[in-house]
Structure 1
Amino acid sequence: MTAYWISLYREVRDDAKLAAYAELAGPALTGAGGTFIARGFPEQVYEAGQDMRSVLIEFESVEAARAAHDSPAYQEALAALGDGAVRDLRIVPGV
């Protein structure tokens, strides 16, 4: 079953750390089978929506998304990010 990796950037604390993370994370996640579906700031928010950077990545399964997160390449990206951002990251199964 398809799964979706959803990242919401609640706060960016260090643009340089975020850029270093992005340079490593993109190749790590696509190399692990992820396909970027959407990324950026919302064009419109409703209800309790917040104007924050969002990233949506599709994987073939929850297991593949977990493996991507736990991979050495992505862990290197996380180390580069460090405390550069406060994020809400979740993996959600598709329907």
Structure 2
Amino acid sequence: MPKGYWISAYRTISDPEKLAAYNKLAAPAVKAGGGQTLVRGGRVVAHDAGIAERTVLIEFDSIEQAVAARESATYQEALSILSDGVERDFRIVEGTD
């Protein structure tokens, strides 16, 4: 079965305190949803229209599991704290077999 992935590419971080508060709640929510963080922050080399800002990649056993984790009450609470603290491109994608 193909894996599911959360991919977050941050365009701007306008409120680092909101991001820190979000991270405290999001990390346990992701883990509870079956996610494994593969990339969080670190060095970025951007090409084309990419922005060399924070990037996060989280793996789930399936796209269904990834969607369910995003929709969970615990992750929604983390999102409410993040609110307008960042601008990011967040996608859930299905991997290949």
Q: TM-score, normalised by structure 2?
A: 0.91
Give unpaired runs (5+ residues) of structure 2: none
Q: Secondary structure at the match of 2:45?
A: coil
Consecutive aligned runs of 4 or more in structure 1 exceeding 3 Å deviation: none
Q: Secondary structure at the match of 1:16?
A: helix
* Cα distance in 1 for residues equivalent to 2:44 and 2:72: 32
Contact 1:41 1:51 (C-alpha < 8 Å) held by counterparts:
no
Aligned residues with identical type, % of pairs: 51
Q: Secondary structure at the match of 1:4?
A: strand
Q: Secondary structure at the match of 1:21?
A: helix
Whether 1:10 aligns to 2:27 is: no
Q: Secondary structure at the match of 2:68?
A: helix
Quote the offset at 1:39 in angstroms.
Answer: 1.2
* Cα distance in 1 for residues equivalent to 2:45 and 2:83: 29
Q: Secondary structure at the match of 1:25?
A: helix
* Higher mean C-alpha deviation, range 4-13 or range 45-54: 45-54
- Residue type at the aligned position of 1:29: V
Post-superposition Cα deviations, 1:1-32, rounded to whole Å, max 9, x if no partner, equal 20111001111111111110000000100111
Q: What RMSD over aligned residues (CA atoms) do the two structures have, in Å? A: 1.1
Other-structure match for 1:34: 35
Contact 1:12 1:84 (C-alpha < 8 Å) held by counterparts:
yes
Other-structure match for 1:24: 25
Post-superposition Cα deviations, 1:21-66, rounded to whole Å, max 9, x if no partner, equal 0000001001110000011143422333321100000001111001
Contact 2:6 2:57 (C-alpha < 8 Å) held by counterparts:
yes
Contact 1:18 1:84 (C-alpha < 8 Å) held by counterparts:
yes
Give unpaired runs (5+ residues) of structure 1: none
